[in-house]
Structures are given as C-alpha cells and as structure tokens.
Amino acid sequence: MEPIRAAIVGTGNIARIHADSLRGLGDGVRLVGAVDVDVDRLSAFCDRYDVPARHPDLTSLLEKEQPDLVHICTPPGTHHDLALACLEAGSNVLVEKPPALSLAEFDNLIEAERKHGAALATVFQHRFGTGAIRLRAMLDSGVLGRPLLAICHTTWFRNQAYFDVEWRGRWDTEGGGPTMGHGIHQMDLLCAILGDWTEVSAVARQQARRMDTEDLSMAHVSFAGGAAASVVNSMLSIREESYLRFDFERATVELTHLYGYGDDDWRITPAPEFADEVMGAWHSGASGVRSAHRAQFAEVLRSLRTGTPAPVTSTESRRTMQLVAGVYASAFTRSAVRPDELSTDSPFYRKMEGNGPRW
Ligand SMILES: NC(=O)c1ccc[n+]([C@@H]2O[C@H](COP(=O)([O-])OP(=O)(O)OC[C@H]3O[C@@H](n4cnc5c(N)ncnc54)[C@H](O)[C@@H]3O)[C@@H](O)[C@H]2O)c1
C-alpha cells in the first residue's frame, strides 16, 4: 500500500505537533512538502522533520507535490483561502481550528468540497480520546439515561502580551476571542456528546485585556435531546482548567484537564441503583488513547484509505461554528438565538461580530 502523501502549510508552533504526530503514525503516511511565507522558519522546519520539498507558496506545492492531504496550520484569517485552493486542486484538507472566520466562509468551503470531491476535516482532537469515545457509546446504548444538564468551562489564562501579537484578538484575523479561538474545543466536544443545539442566550465582555474581541463569554445552551448547558469561555482565569460535566439520569460524568486528557482525567459518579451497570459499561469500553492530534490523524488517515468521510467532517464542525456564531449573535443582539436565525441573511452569518460588537 502506497503511503498517504501529506503536506503542511504554516510551519509555526502547531505544525510541530502535526509533524511529530504524523511521524508517530508510521509508514502509512509521508510528509512530502511544506509551505511557509517565512523562509527561515520553513527551512528550519524542513531540516528538523526531514521534509523533502519546501515551497514559498501553496500554489507551487499543490502543482508539484499533488498531496493527498494538506494540513493547514496557519493563522485563522488565512484558512479559508488556503483550504479553498487545496479543495479546488483536488487535495483533501485537514484545517486547524477555527476552520474559517465565519459561517459564510465555511459554507463556501463545503460547496467546494461537494464540487471538487475532496474532503474538508477540522482539527478537534478532543473528540478522539478514548474517554469521549466511551462516553458517546454509553450514551447511545442508553446505560446513562437522558442527559439533563451540562457544564462546559474553558477557563484559561493569556496575558496581554499574548494578545499583542499582530493577528490575535481581532475579528478580521481570528473571527473572535476565547469563544472562537479556545473554548471552541470544549464546545465542540459538548456538541459531539449532546448533539444539535436549539437555542443560546449569551453575554460577551471585554473584561480585562486590550483587544478588539471579547476576553470572556458566558452562555446558556439548550439541546434538542433536552439537556441545558452552561458554557464559560475565559482568558482571564489564573487557575486554568478545561472542565466538562454531564449530569445524566443515571450518572454524573466529569472531565477535568487543560489542553489534552487521558483516561484518568474522567470521573464517573453513578446513581447507587445503577452503579454496577454504569461502571461495568465504563470499564469495558475503549481505553488507553489520549485526546491529541495523533489520535485524530489516525482516524483521518483511516478514512482516506477506506473512502469514508474524514473526521471531524464539515457537517459536524459546522454545528460547532454555528454555536460560536450563536453566542456572538445572542450577546450582541441581547436576545436568545436559534440556529435557523443564523441563515444567510443574518449579519452574524457573514461575520462572527455581525454588524459590530455591542459591549
Ligand atoms: N488544535 C489545537 O489545539 C491548536 C493549538 C494551537 C494553535 N492551533 C491553531 O493552529 C493555527 C496556527 O497557530 P500557531 O500557534 O501554530 O501559529 P504560528 O504563528 O506559530 O504559526 C503560523 C505559521 O503560518 C505561517 N503563515 C502565515 N500565513 C501564511 C500563508 N498565507 N501561507 C503559508 N504560511 C503562512 C507563518 O509564517 C507561521 O510560520 C491557528 O489556527 C491556531 O488556532 C490549534
């Protein structure tokens, strides 16, 4: 079997995790080329990872290397145009979060996916740890009962210097603050477990950092399955944590970590009368895989080989992007927002900040 030919665009911080993860996946994938507008960074990256072809722009990489899969690891404002160019050239795309700056941009990529027959997947690595896979399977089997309540906290800390980097903290380059850039990971896992959301009420604040976007948002989200969730996205929280809690009829399931979790980061508290059933299901499920890029990449490569949709698919990540848009729409219109209100004629469809933030 020929190895899958992968390429990386943008050779900064996260690209190193991509390259290390690909290396860890063995002979089934080969890193054939890389692109960066910064030639020194590109050169250092290619030397370090033994990448045979270095290109100053994506067009030349697509023409000369014809990769099966392009990893887009550039700042968010560039994702749409780069992903579009790859899809048009027939290369599959794995784009870092957030996959685009707006629902409008994202739908444009979905259209290109359909037109050119290449797949667009988004990096949301926290779906791929075995704890999340086990939880989803237990929910599907009915052993946990109905989901009633969820808590989804991304309480992280970034100082002012972090936001002083040119492309950070701006609507036009990042599409939002911690809701779009950081909490999106936890909100994606929330949606992966609870499914479609039906309404969101939110506030967004500029609490402490000098930046264009929010540095804090808080939301109540209703889900079609009946659960209500409380979501906090903060860059101001000195004791940092990513915390998800699901209260089901038969158990409370908690996940506490920061940037990635293992099996030990989950805590299950069953109702006494269901303890054997719930704990039996938990201990007999998949185990041993941390939530990390490598776990997702393994699934993406498997899907490319078998011709199944590469995860996280555009349909799945659109729902998460739509929740992000809903948080901003609710916060800036000061009203509850349903998904159908974020259709093409909404200003929040075209830009995450709509016609402009209202603090
Ligand atoms: N999944 C995760 O856990 C995770 C973690 C961190 C960052 N990210 C995401 O990864 C992306 C990159 O973040 P980073 O911290 O690595 O940024 P970075 O600034 O360290 O690296 C970005 C690189 O892209 C290059 N670049 C910019 N525009 C380009 C273009 N048009 N063509 C080619 N190269 C270009 C830059 O020169 C730079 O080397 C962001 O979308 C970020 O949100 C994801």
Q: How confident is the model at residue 64 (pLDDT cuts 50, 70, 90)?
A: very high
Mean pLDDT of all residues in 114-143: 98
Domain count, the chain: 2
Mean pLDDT of all residues in 128-132: 98
Q: Nearest C-alpha to atom 39 of ligand 1 is from which residue?
A: 12
- Cα gap 220→203, rounded to integer Å: 9
Q: For 255, how many CA atoms within 13 A lie in the half-sphere containing its CB? A: 29
Determine the residue of 8, 11, 13, 317 to mutate for testing ligand 1's pocket, defined as the one with the most ligand atoms within 8 A of the Cβ atom.
13
In a domain, 273, yes or no: no
- Cα gap 68→4, rounded to integer Å: 6
Q: How confident is the model at residue 284 (pLDDT cuts 50, 70, 90)?
A: very high
Ligand 1 centroid–CA 287 distance in Å is 31
At 167-220, the pLDDT tens digits run 899 999 999 999 999 999 999 999 999 999 999 999 999 999 999 999 999 999
Predicted pLDDT of residue 322: 98
Ligand 1 centroid–CA 36 distance in Å is 10
Name the amino acid, one letter, at 18: H
Percent pLDDT > 70 in the chain is 100
- Cα gap 268→352, rounded to integer Å: 36
Residues 113 and 171 placed together within one structural domain of the fold = no
Apex 104 CA angle, 83 and 212, nearest 5: 95
Residues 325 and 188 placed together within one structural domain of the fold = yes
Percent pLDDT > 90 in the chain is 99
Mean pLDDT of all residues in 45-49: 98
CATH of the domain at 220: 3.30.360.10
* Burial zone of 91 (CB within 10 Å; 0-12 exposed, 13-18 middle, 19+ buried): buried
DSSP for 79-92, written as a single string? HHHHHHHHHHTT-E
CATH of the domain at 19: 3.40.50.720
Residues 115 and 186 placed together within one structural domain of the fold = no
Ligand 1 centroid–CA 343 distance in Å is 29
Residues 170 and 66 placed together within one structural domain of the fold = no
Both tokens of residue 46? 């290619």
As for ligand 1, residues whose beta carbon falls within 6 Å of it are: 9-15, 35-38, 41, 73-76, 78, 96-97, 123, 125, 181
The H-or-E segment that residue 31 falls in is strand 29-35
Mean pLDDT of all residues in 109-118: 98
Predicted pLDDT of residue 39: 96
The H-or-E segment that residue 93 falls in is strand 92-95
Domain containing residue 223: 146-248+321-342
What is the three-state SS of 111-172?
HHHHHHCCCEEECCHHHCCHHHHHHHHHHHHCCCCCEEEEEEEEEEECCHHHHCCCCCCCHH
Mean pLDDT of all residues in 49-56: 96
- 8 A C-beta contact, residue 206 and residue 176: no
**Is residue 1's pLDDT more than 90?**
no
Residues 87 and 181 placed together within one structural domain of the fold = no
Determine the residue of 14, 35, 167 to mutate for testing ligand 1's pocket, defined as the one with the most ligand atoms within 8 A of the Cβ atom.
14
At 304-350, the pLDDT tens digits run 999 999 999 999 999 999 999 999 999 999 999 999 999 999 999 99
Residues 223 and 328 placed together within one structural domain of the fold = yes
In a domain, 266, yes or no: no
- 8 A C-beta contact, residue 176 and residue 328: yes
Please name every residue paired with 257 in a beta bridge, in sequence order, or none if there are none.
242
**How many other CB atoms are there within 10 angstroms of residue 307's CB atom?**
8
Which atom of ligand 1 is least distant from the CA of 259? 3
